[in-house]
Amino acid sequence: MPYPIDALPNTIRAAVEEVHGFVQAPIELIALSAVGALALAGQAQVDVKRAEGLSGPTGLFLLGIAESGERKSTCDRLFTGAIEAWQKEQLIAAELELEKYRGEKDVWEAERKGLQQAIQHAAKNGRDSQEHRKKLEELHRQEPKRPHTPRILLADETPENLAYRLAHDFPYGGVISAEGGLVLGAQAMKSESIMRHLSVLNILWDGGSFSVGRKTSDNFEVGQARLTVSLQLQGTTLRAFQKTNGELARGIGFLARFLVCHPFSTQGSRMFVDPPAEWTKLNAFNSRITEILALPLPLDEDGLLRLIQSSFDEDAKAS
């Protein structure tokens, strides 16, 4: 079926058509890249309320099936350019905050160790340590909080790394890859950990919370995080994944969460054209992405996302 390009809002459709005019990749893949970038940027601002008591994330899981040479990387690069630029600026600014945090954390650790040693020394000598205990309790409440590190473009992450980044670095992100085989074929997707990885992705797709227990460090909780996944991969890679893990993936509804496109190839029919003198429509799209990224995060006092609930109008419900 033809891709419903007319259903896209004007700014998105215009950018997709402008890129299609030059890149000449299947328009389905171009639209997938555009929608993936928008889902990544906007998912930290609003949830969609489908009915009373029924709401969910606006992040998307997208899957484009296309062979080598379909210009998948080019499509992603054009539509994530603004995200990459924003992320680079934010990481530079965050480094100053991280340096301040490290200094405060070192002082805090020194004070904590000093109080612990004082308590141990008092206990060893049969003296009262109540005053030191009170100070230690108060100190724990004053532990410096690590500032957010806004790295939102993620790649081949193990489920533990992905969960850690969302819990500690930044409360939303996107796994966007034109080489989806690196994600589906990564070490994290081997048989011994496939269930854990797919389950984590399923929970994040639904905006759920979960705990991560680790042997070598403190346990932590992922709450109200938002994730977009946009993968493009070859059909042979997908078939290999299905052959190895298809029964499990179907059992937990993993691939059912994806919006999938498998377009006809444009290879062999692309004629040379000059690039546009100015990417007017694409620049307008990327400017809007930058505006969305610059919005303050709606965080509560615990640092968790508390998003606006956007409801469908009657026409949207009917369609």
User: Per-residue pLDDT tens for 104-126?
Assistant: 999 999 999 999 998 998 888 88
pLDDT tens-digit map of 136-189? 899 888 888 887 788 899 876 777 788 888 888 889 999 988 666 556 655 445
Query: What pLDDT, in 10s, does the model give residues 205-260?
Result: 988 888 876 655 667 788 889 999 998 888 887 887 777 776 777 777 888 899 99
Sign of CA dihedral 186, 204, 149, 283: positive
Smallest CA-to-CA distance from 152 within 260, 49, 59, 78 is with 59
Cβ atoms of residues 80 and 153 within 8 Å: yes
Other beta carbons within 10 angstroms of residue 128's beta carbon come to: 9
Of 228, 210, 261, 258, the C-alpha closest to 62 is 258
Q: List the domain boundaries for the chain.
A: 8-75+150-267+283-314
Sequence-distant (≥ 6) Cβ neighbours of residue 275 within 8 angstroms: 22
For the chain, give the longest Cα–Cα distance. 88
Return mean pLDDT, the chain.
85
Tokens (6 digits) for 306: 């508390």
**C-alpha span between 77 and 91 (Å, rounded):** 19
Read off the DSSP letter of residue 305: B
On the question of pLDDT at 290 being above 90, the answer is yes
Q: What is the pTM of this model?
A: 0.81
Helix (H, G, I), strand (E, B) or coil at 82: helix
Percent of the chain residues past pLDDT 70, beyond the cut: 92
